[in-house]
Amino acid sequence: MTDFTIERGLPHLALSVASQSYAVSASSVMEIVLLQPITPLPTMPSCLLGLMNLRGTVIPIVDLGEKLGFGHTAITARTCAVVVMTRVENVPTPIGVIADEILNVVSLVRDDIAPPPAFGNPVDVSYLSGITRIDDRYVLILDFTRILSLEELLAVSAAKEGPTA
C-alpha cells in the first residue's frame, strides 16, 4: 500500500453514467485511454459494443450505461475507455468500459463507505459494493468484478433471447 492509501483512504474513480455519479475501486483500473475504432460483434449482448485494439491487445468494450439499463452511451470525440483487469475462466482479461464522463479520482476512507441500500437504487443492488458521500452528494460504488463477470454478461444475452422451448 502507498502512503496515499494509508493516510487518505482507498482510491476510487468517480464517473458519470446517465447523469448519475458513481464510483469504482481504482485497484482494478489499469488505465484510461481514448476510445479507438470498435469492431462490432453482432451476436453479442447490446452492452458489449465490440472489440478494440489497444496497442496490439484486443479487448472487449462494454457500454456501462447499456449494461446498467440506462441505454446506450453517446460516443463523442472525448469518450474514453476505462481498462479494467477482470478474470474470465480464471485467466486475467482486460475489458474496456465506457461511461458518459470520467469525473475524478477520489480517496474514500473505509469508514465512510456504507453498505448499499437494499431498495430505491437505479441499478441492480448486486452490482453495488457500497454507498458514500462525495462533495455533499450520495454516490453509489459499483462492483466491476460482478458487473463484468462472464456469467453476468452472458446472462444479459440469455435474457434477451428469452426461454427456449
pLDDT in tens, 70-93: 999 998 877 889 999 988 788 888
Half-sphere exposure of 15 (CA within 13 A, CB side): 26
Strand, helix or coil for residue 147: helix
- Give me the phi and psi of 152, to 5 degrees please: -70, -45
What per-residue confidence (pLDDT) applies to 5?
46
Q: Which three-class secondary structure state does DSSP give residue 23?
A: strand
E-strand stretches of 1-152: 10-17, 20-25, 29-34, 38-39, 48-54, 57-63, 80-88, 91-98, 101-108, 128-134, 137-142
Q: How far apart are CA 134 and CA 125, in angstroms?
A: 20
Give 146's Cβ-side CA count (13 Å radius): 13
Q: 51-64, pLDDT tens digit by residue?
A: 999 999 999 999 99
User: ∠ CA(97), CA(4), CA(87), 5° rounding?
Assistant: 30
Q: How confident is the model over 138-165, as pLDDT tens digits?
A: 899 999 888 888 777 766 545 444 444 4
Q: How far apart are the first and last CA of the chain?
A: 53
